[in-house]
Amino acid sequence: MEGQGGSLFEHIRIISDPRAEKNKRHPLETIIFIAICGVTCGAEGWTDLQRFGELKKEWLSKYVDLSRGVPSHDTFGRFFALLDPKGFQEGFLGWIRSIHEKTQGRIVSLNGKSLRRSHDRSKGKEALHLVHAWASENHLLLGEIKTNAKSNEITAIPELLKLLDLQGAIVTVDAMGTQKEIVGKIVDKGGDYVVALKGNHGVFHEEVEQYWEDSQLRKEADRYETTEKGHGRLEQRRHWSTEDLNWFADKAKWPGLRSIGCVESERTIQEQTSVERRYYLSSTSLRADAQELARAVRAHWSIENNLHWVLDVVFREDESRVRIGHAAENFALLRRMALSLIKKESTSKASLKGKRFSAALSDAYLEKILFQN
């Protein structure tokens, strides 16, 4: 377990083993290492992990103790059903953060996703809903937290923020998370924010909407425009940002608030044109910069394609019936760890699916994914 795997195994060792001493037939390191390797290579459940371990036994034995054989699918299932997700996340996200390049102005997007088939109606168990912190430009998971339903993201986000190093980062949040307490925590942790403003803020939303309807005020604001064409579709996005907030009586109640922004999307598909406007709040260090607003908003939209869509299409997450105990949450974390590592590996130009297939076929390529610096 020396050499390349040192950093990985150092973080595995801080994870607490949930099993009674008499039930520890296989070391914790063995079970977890096979699991992360197997999911990286395409495993979708406990039987897959057992098969992966048996077929890769010679290679795996270079890194973990297999003196008592490969764990059975039942062993994997029981172990991850018992394992505390918070402790598991602490170990693996510590590992991910160790390879995460921190840059000033990096964007951290907060967004939620439900695992549709993780419910168990016979036991009254709802589908698992997770809120993620995603480094949009580096494509790395920085943290996640479980909620009982999407409506509880408001209470989950402050807990997730506690896990994150936000110094110098720009945090983007959907309208549901646009709360004074949440943006206050972002500012307290040294971050900035670009957060969506919608009808759930009633009068404030109406006032911002009316502000941007004034064509003269739009002319005076900072402006940035982009155009995209392709597949019979034309989309023009116009971005405005201003620090003109003297009209807003409650400005002091929003920690760090410095500017408001507007994004107008004009889409033309088969000669049919539609126009939509969205509104945003930005914090102290972010002056009225429409191009920076565009970067933050675009990065937040990308979480759907770069994280949620990939988990459903490449990792088949919505089809998973892993659900006993903590197993669904822990297997979800395994998928996200694997995705972060695969995306960070840049020597191959293959698709994500292609990289997983290559890792399954080539031990050398799997090592490159696992032990990259």
Mean pLDDT of 88-116: 77
User: Could you give phi then psi for residue 233, rounded to 5 degrees?
Assistant: -130, 135
Both 338 and 302 in a single domain?
no
Q: Which of 262, 282, 312 is the last residue of a domain?
A: 312
**Domain ranges, residue 146:** 107-312
The CA distance from 337 to 23, in Å, is 27
Task: Give the pLDDT band of residue 119 (cuts 50, 70, 90).
Answer: low
Q: With b meaning 16 or more CB within 10 Å and e meaning fewer, what string describes 324-347?
A: eebbbbbbbbbbbbbbbbbbbbee
Same domain as 347, residue 224: no
pLDDT one-digit tens code per residue, 155-212: 889 989 998 889 999 999 999 889 999 999 999 999 999 999 998 899 999 999 999 9
Shared domain for 294 and 349, answered yes or no, is: no
**Three-state secondary structure of 198-267:** CHHHHHHHHHHHHHHHCHHHHHHCEEEEEEEEECCEEEEEEEEEECCCCCCCCHHHCCCEEEEEEEEEEE
Q: Are 128 and 23 contained in the same domain? A: no
pLDDT at 136: 80
Tokens encoding 142: 């920085």
CATH of the domain at 221: 3.90.350.10
User: Which tens digit of pLDDT belongs to each residue from 324-368?
Assistant: 888 888 998 899 889 988 988 889 999 999 999 999 999 999 999
Q: What is the pLDDT of residue 129?
A: 80
pLDDT for the residue numbered 102: 65
Contacts 24+ apart (CB under 8 A), 50-55: 50/76
Confirm whether 37 is domain-assigned. Answer: yes
Looking at the fold, whether 51 and 151 belong to one and the same domain comes out as no
Which residue type occupies 333?
L
- C-alpha to C-alpha distance for 182 and 197, rounded to whole angstroms: 13
What is the pLDDT at residue 144?
A: 84
User: pLDDT tens digits, residue range 21-50?
Assistant: 988 999 999 999 999 999 999 999 999 999
Strands 192-197 and 140-147: unpaired
Q: Binning pLDDT at 50, 70 and 90, where does residue 123 land?
A: low
Residue 99 above 80 pLDDT? no
272 close to 256: Cβ distance less than 8 angstroms: no
Identity of the amino acid at 158:
P
Q: Is the pLDDT of residue 299 over 80?
A: yes
93 and 118 within one domain: no
**Is pLDDT above 90 for 315?**
no
pLDDT digits (tens, 9 = 90+) for 269-281: 888 899 999 999 9
HSE, side-chain direction, 13 A CA sphere, residue 337: 30
Q: Which long-range contacts (CB under 8 A, 24 or more apart) does 144-149 make?
A: 144/89, 144/332, 144/333, 144/336, 146/85, 146/329, 147/112
Is 318 among the domain residues? no
Share of the chain above pLDDT 70, in %: 91
How many domains are contained in the chain?
Answer: 2
Does 123 map to a domain?
yes
What is the rounded distance in angstroms from the CA atom of residue 296 to the CA atom of residue 241? 13
Is 122 in the same domain as 231?
yes
Residues 90 and 152 in one domain: no
Q: Average pLDDT over the chain, rounded to whole?
A: 88
Give the residue, 96 or 196, on which the prediction is more confident.
196
Which of 79-83, 124-128, 159-163, 320-324 has maximum average pLDDT? 79-83
Residue with tokens 């197997």: 38
| pLDDT-derived band at 2, boundaries 50, 70, 90 | very low
Residues 175 and 232 in one domain: yes
* Residues 214 and 345 placed together within one structural domain of the fold: no
Residue 59, pLDDT above cutoff 70: yes
* Residue 319 confidence (pLDDT): 76
Give yes or no for a contact between 326 and 153, defined as CB atoms under 8 angstroms apart: no
E strand or H helix at 159: helix 153-162
Say if residue 42 is in the same domain as residue 15: yes
Residues 131 and 256 both lie in one domain = yes
- Residue 150 falls within a domain, yes or no? yes
